[in-house]
Structure 1
Amino acid sequence: MKNDFELLNTWFEDASIEMILTHFLQTYKGRIALASSYGAEDQVLTDMMAKIDPIAKIFSLDTGRLPEETYTLMDQTNRKYGINVEVFCPDKTALEELYKSQGINGFRESIENRKACCQVRKLEPLFRALGGLEVWITGLRRSQSPTRETMQLVEWDEANTLIKLNPLIEWSEQMVWDYINENKVPYNVLHDQGYPSIGCAPCTRAICEGEDLRAGRWWWESSEHKECGLHLKRK
Structure 2
Amino acid sequence: MQKSYANGVKNKGSILKNILNKNFIVSAIVPVVIFYVFDKFEMTLSGIIFSGLWSIGVVIVNFIRTRELNALAAIAAAFSGIGLVGSVISKNAAFYFVSPLVGNALVSLIFFLSLLSRKSLIEVIVDQSYLKNAPEKIKNDKDHKFVWRFLSAIWGFGNLGQAILGAVLLKVVSMSLYYAVINIYGNILTILLLAFSITFPKIYFKKKRQKI
Q: Scaled by the length of structure 2, what TM-score is found?
A: 0.29
Q: Which has the higher helix share?
A: 2
**For the pair shown, which has the larger CA radius of gyration, 1 or 2?**
2
Q: Scaled by the length of structure 1, what TM-score is found?
A: 0.27
Q: Which has the higher strand share?
A: 1
